[in-house]
Structure 1
Amino acid sequence: MSSFVIYEQPLNERMRTFLRIEQLMYRLHKAMDGAEIWQSHFALSVLIELVNLVIRVDVKNDLMLELERQGANMARLQASDSVDSAHLQALIEQQRALSQQLHGMSGQLAQHLVRNELLGSLRQRLSIPGGTCDFDLPAYHYWLSRSPQWRHELLETWIEPFEKVLDAVTLILDLVRQSVDFVPVSAPRGFCQESLNVDAPNQLLRVRMPKDSEVFPEISAGKHRFTIRFFEQADIMSRPTQTEQTVAFELATCAL
């Protein structure tokens, strides 16, 4: 197990969406690993979050554009003698295959779930405290009473299009994260501000710290600069305050 914790800040809306998809799919898979009724309920709740996210943006188009952009950058690296050309070519082919897979998906990404009556009822009730009790949603209570295998197989069918999306998101984020190494940085009195190279395709800030650190970062970023403030919170019930100590951490400004 890693002894570090990493905090990430997206630098554009596309990266923000991809990170949210990655996180929601991780939670969804974890919930589907179990056979308990509460795990199926959590899986459906996360699935509805995912649906609400993807119906607001054209995720497929954003993914294909990003794969194409990254592929073009990769192709320019092929002329470099310091690059593993075989590995680079494999990545380019993987990007093309994922783009074709996305292109072959017909219609809106979540259209098969937007029209689902059970999920539609659940979407309306989740915002109400205790709104998914059996007397509110008897059809949902019946669904949860079915066998774990039956529930799991149906969930697998429902999330199948999102698995293809996750494949593309995973490759894109992996390449962005691996595009640069972490460098040591210090923040006097818990404050760090640096300029961004506006000519670079800045996409993601990553802050790495030891898990036993007694401070945590809050990151804000614009087009030209970013700011990191480190806070300490002796009591979880109290308001965090910016530390007066000099904080040593590692920073990666990912641009690909």
Structure 2
Amino acid sequence: MMLLCYLHYTLDIHTVICYELPLTERIRTLLRLEDLFNKVDFFAKRTTANEHHAALVALFEILDVTSRADIKSDLLQELERQRSSLENLRKNPDVSEAALNQILDEIKIAFRGLLNVTGRAGSHLRDNEWLMSIKQRMNIPGGACEFDLPSYHYWLSIAPEVRHQDFQDWITPLLPIRNSFNIVLKLLRNSGRTFRYTAYQGLFQQTDPEHAAHLLRLIIDDTLPCFPEISANKFALNIRFIPFGTDQKAITYEEDIDFELTFCNL
């Protein structure tokens, strides 16, 4: 079973939940980064000390994710691959030239931005001894208490405007990474082929190599009191819907469920 990301939004007149399942390690990393950057955005714009602590925790997690792989090199290769693929569509009469030029321009700008990133992503944070001392303490449960980190406690006590500027200084060098993976994920999600299925008595199985994907997007009505558990490989796709409850056991939802499944490929 693989980790699911989910989105909650309105489709036509219905409110639905979209569960996203990455099927490659690269896409899994990009989805994690997307989630963490969104959290930094949300909490860094607030004003309280607790909210800015949460923003810094998410920023440190971005640092951890980017340090596990050469994310800059991977994104450069993927952007170049997508640029080459899209250029081949210029002679296709079904493709809007204006839309094609727009996405190619976005890729070009993101590619140049990545090339201007010196060293590994987040190196400016790793070179900040004060931040790294806080990060090290945060690895310990309760390690960021004021008696352990008085300088951090002072920073959390100063004017929010000062902390806002600090976050801007820390995030700005990472924006080329964010802009690049946003383009890759947008292209991936827009590439999807969507099908409607029914999980009879909460179970669905498919064995069809033609539906191989880098990302699965499953949409169900948010009024259903269950969630999907998905396992997938190149040979089979298995989905089991499980009733939600705080004391839940691994049992299957017993009613038939209609859902949409989108197969996305780069």
TM range (shorter): over 0.9
Q: TM-score, normalised by structure 1?
A: 0.93
Q: 1:194-205 to 2 correspondence within 5 Å?
A: 194-195=206-207, 197=209, 202-205=213-216
Out of 101, 126, 134, the residue aligned to residue 122 of structure 1 is: 134
The alpha-carbon deviation at position 216 of structure 1 amounts to: 0.6
Q: Which residue of 1 aligns with 2:6?
A: none
The alpha-carbon deviation at position 129 of structure 1 amounts to: 2.6
The alpha-carbon deviation at position 223 of structure 1 amounts to: 2.7
Equivalent position SS for 1:106 = coil
Residues 19-59 of structure 1, C-alpha deviations (whole Å, 9 max, x = no match): 01100000000001111111111111110111011011111
Give the Cα separation in 1 of the matches to 2:143 and 2:110.
39
The alpha-carbon deviation at position 85 of structure 1 amounts to: 1.8
The alpha-carbon deviation at position 249 of structure 1 amounts to: 0.4
Preserved CA contact (<8 Å) 2:117 2:176:
no
Q: Is the aligned partner of 1:93 residue 2:105?
A: yes
The unaligned stretches of length 5 or more in structure 1 are: none
Q: TM-score, normalised by structure 2?
A: 0.90
Preserved CA contact (<8 Å) 2:17 2:219:
yes
Q: Which residue of 2 aligns with 1:164?
A: 176
Out of 249, 252, 260, the residue aligned to residue 239 of structure 1 is: 249
Give the Cα separation in 2 of the matches to 1:85 and 1:23.
32
Q: Is the aligned partner of 1:37 residue 2:37?
A: no
Residues 183-225 of structure 1, C-alpha deviations (whole Å, 9 max, x = no match): 211112222222354696x311000111111111112222333
Q: Which residue of 2 aligns with 1:14?
A: 26
Q: Which residue of 2 aligns with 1:50?
A: 62
Give the Cα separation in 1 of the matches to 2:250 and 2:155.
43
Report how many residues are paired. 254
Q: Which residue of 1 aligns with 2:231?
A: 220
Q: Which moved more, 1:177-186 or 1:37-46?
A: 177-186
Q: Which moved more, 1:100-109 or 1:221-230?
A: 221-230
Could you say if the C-alpha distance between residues 209 and 188 of structure 1 is closer, same or farther in structure 2, counting changes exceeding 3 Å?
Answer: same
Give the Cα separation in 2 of the matches to 1:119 and 1:220.
39
Equivalent position SS for 1:43 = helix
Q: Which residue of 2 aligns with 1:177?
A: 189
Equivalent position SS for 1:168 = helix
Residues 133-184 of structure 1, C-alpha deviations (whole Å, 9 max, x = no match): 1101111111111110001101110111222211111111111111124321
Residues 87-141 of structure 1, C-alpha deviations (whole Å, 9 max, x = no match): 1122122212211210111111111111222222222222323211110111111
Over the aligned positions, Cα root-mean-square deviation in angstroms equals 1.7
Identity of aligned residues (%): 35
Give the Cα separation in 1 of the matches to 2:161 and 2:141.
29
Give the Cα separation in 2 of the matches to 1:119 and 1:31.
18
